[in-house]
Amino acid sequence: MKNYVFAALLVLVTGALVTGAFAQSSLFDKYDVNMTKWAQLPGGTWGGETSSVAADGKGNVIVLVRKAPYFRVFTSDGKFVKGWGEDGLFNQAHSLHFDSDGFIWATDPNDHVVHKFSPDGKLLMTLGKKGVAGDNTSHDTFNRPNAVTIAPNGDILVSDGYVNSRVVQFSKDGKFIRIIGGTKGSGPGQLQLPHGIAIDSKGRLLVADSDNKRIAVFDKDGKFIENWAAPCRGNIVITKDDTLYASDVNAGAVTILKDGKILDVIHVEGRPHGLSVDPTTLDVYTSSSVAQNPNVTKSVRKKPASN
């Protein structure tokens, strides 16, 4: 019964968001949403789709754009710092992730690869084989990988979800460990377009099982535990206290959950394909992947009212 009540609330909430009833606000009033143009752009335009965004908690925000320079670096208040990433580095710049050591990870679905960069932009590692597509059983190739995250021990987890239906786990030096999921469908442990991944404080893997509109939860050994209902056709991020943020391009919203329960819903501009939560301030950044209106929105976490 609990899951049915939750699902009904979720439909009501996201339906209201789509119709604009809670436009430019967060449902439970935890965030102030900045619907204006956050980034102060050289020349005034992005020049390409704003596919992803990542904040490092140290005042730096990187936006991944589908046109060189692919990486645009800003301060947290939107001031442009620099751009890097020469033309031809990506076939399709897609998703972005900062790990705890400051390294930058990015996926390229069209080239079937995942890249690791140093903080100053040097290419350090590539997983997958450029231009070579693999199936659900492959240990060293992907078929349009769309997200990456790094475990506390350095293990690399790649969401290989646009064609395949799995997450692939590697050691920190790129050696294959296991396949998680690997079967397309809606049954327990099956995935239908996994499109975002995160690891919580218990070592559990959370997967945005986007076409099934749920978060799939696996243990540290890749065994399925449970599903949480949530619109998540975008990205997911988890904070240190295991609060989960899930963006959805269709709802135009970010749903905030804890142990599968809704805490807040933020309506944002455009189609929030990219999502990041600043680890220090808990400010939320979303990037819209609409070619006609690329944009990054910043939603500022409100300070608790003083007594």
State pLDDT tens for residues 119-158.
999 999 999 999 999 999 999 999 999 999 999 999 999 9
- The 3-state DSSP composition of the chain as helix, strand, coil percent (nearest 5) reads 10, 45, 50
Which pTM does this prediction carry?
Answer: 0.91
Structure confidence at residue 305 (pLDDT): 62
Give the number of other Cβ atoms within 10 Å of residue 67's Cβ: 14
pLDDT digits (tens, 9 = 90+) for 175-228: 999 999 999 999 999 999 999 999 999 999 999 999 999 999 999 999 999 999
83 pLDDT above the threshold of 60: yes
Mean pLDDT confidence for 294-305: 86
Mean pLDDT confidence for 246-253: 95
Buried b (16+ CB within 10 A) or exposed e, 187-198: eebbbbbbbbbb
Domains and CATH numbers, the chain: 2-299 (2.120.10.30)
280 pLDDT above the threshold of 90: yes
Helix ranges, the chain (H) = 2-19
Q: Are 286 and 274 in contact (CB under 8 A)?
A: yes
Return left, alpha or beta for 121; rule: phi > 0 is left, psi -120 to 50 is alpha, else beta. left
Task: Report helix, strand or coil for 8.
Answer: helix
Query: pLDDT grade, residue 293 (50/70/90)?
Result: confident
Find all residues with CB under 8 Å of 256, minimum gap 6, and list them.
30, 243, 244, 245, 246, 262, 263, 264, 265, 266
Structure confidence at residue 1 (pLDDT): 42
Task: Report helix, strand or coil for 217.
Answer: strand
Which of the residue ranges 11-20, 61-70, 72-81, 206-215 would you say has the lowest mean pLDDT?
11-20
Give the number of other Cβ atoms within 10 Å of residue 115's Cβ: 21
Distance of alpha carbon 188 from alpha carbon 217, whole angstroms: 10
Distance of alpha carbon 214 from alpha carbon 158, whole angstroms: 18
Give the up-direction half-sphere exposure of residue 207: CA atoms within 13 A in the CB hemisphere: 36
The residue assigned the tokens 């890249």 is 115
Give the number of other Cβ atoms within 10 Å of residue 84's Cβ: 16
Burial of residue 250, with CB atoms counted within 10 A of its CB: 0-12 exposed, 13-18 middle, 19 or more buried:
middle
